[in-house]
Structure 1
Amino acid sequence: MSAEQEAPTGSVGDLRDSVGYALKQAATALRVALDRDLRPLELTVSQYSCLEVLGQRPGLSNSELARATFVTRQTMNEILRGLQARDLLTRPATATSGRSRPVELTAAGRRALESASAVVAAVEERMVTALPADRRARFLADLRHCVQALG
């Protein structure tokens, strides 16, 4: 960077050296790859995320699923309606207690999740393939530390 192009003190500076910019690039590249590779299964990344969370934590409410998958309650409601129309999940027509309607995967939903999870695992493997195995665990730990530092 030349003297005329020097970043002001306290600024991000050269984007090639910005952790935030590199994380955004990685997140975007991951999202594009997931969108492309999940498309043949007729799933979006948000739909897959919903299935994955439900596979690991059945019975969550719309609000709990929204928080776990980083979408709004309104968006989650649309996702749930779409997945329910495809018979990938069930939720009671009325709340059994309070306003919560617990959501669970159907047998078809579990099969869809199994296929989608394999696709996502393959994309993640491609993403970190250049990292030596011993650095992968460190990379994940470092990312978790970054989240904790800002959370």
Structure 2
Amino acid sequence: MSQEQTGVDLPTSIGYLLKETASALRAAMESVLRPLGMTVTHYACLELLAQRPGSSNSELARGTFVTRQSMNVLLQTLERDGVVARPSEARTGRVMPTELTDRGRRDLAAATAAVRSVEDRMLGELDEDDRATARRLLRSMVHALRQGD
């Protein structure tokens, strides 16, 4: 039995192509964020806080696809650097809502412009109909996979 018959045809495997795309996108984003002193997770955290002020550590971890422990370490660093602010004590339970500071909003603006340039490059050969189709297809794939959870 040949390997071709038992394996996945990588050039036509949607899963493999998605992983290759995600890897290339992350590398390109890291490249433009590195000079700003950020990682993709750092940027994603700031973006989430701009859109969902007061998010908890757990919410931010889920939204950036990292563990709660990793997010806690990042938030401690961002708080120390004056990028985010958290109350000294939880208002209720153990939740420590986090918000961007003025510095955090400035850092985010620079990072957003850098990341947007990467996304524009990635989508440069697609017209608006193709972009809409890609968004619809990707959402459909995520939905289908989450149905099994």
Tell me the SS of whatever aligns to 2:5. coil
Q: Which residue of 2 aligns with 1:6?
A: 4
**TM-score (normalised: structure 2):** 0.93
Q: How far did 1:4 drift? A: 4.5
- Which one of the candidate residues 64, 70, 73 is aligned to 2:68? 73
- Which one of the candidate residues 98, 102, 111 is aligned to 2:97? 102
Among all aligned residue pairs of Structure 1 and Structure 2, give the percentage whose two residues are the same amino acid: 52
Whole-Å Cα distance in 2 between the matches of residues 23 and 60 of structure 1? 29
Q: Which residue of 2 aligns with 1:85?
A: 80
Whole-Å Cα distance in 2 between the matches of residues 105 and 64 of structure 1? 15
Q: Which residue of 2 aligns with 1:60?
A: 55
Pairwise CA RMSD of aligned residues? 1.3
Whichever residue aligns with residue 107 of structure 1, its letter is: D
Deviates more, 1:47-56 or 1:128-137: 128-137
- Which one of the candidate residues 113, 129, 135 is aligned to 1:140? 135
Q: How far did 1:5 drift? A: 5.1
**Structure 1 gap ranges (5+):** none
Deviates more, 1:131-140 or 1:45-54: 131-140
Q: Which residue of 1 aligns with 2:106?
A: 111
**TM-score (normalised: structure 1):** 0.92
Whichever residue aligns with residue 17 of structure 1, its letter is: T
Task: Look at both structures and tell me which one has the larger radius of gyration over its CA atoms.
Answer: 1
Deviates more, 1:53-62 or 1:113-122: 113-122
**Structure 2 gap ranges (5+):** none
Q: Which residue of 1 aligns with 2:35?
A: 40
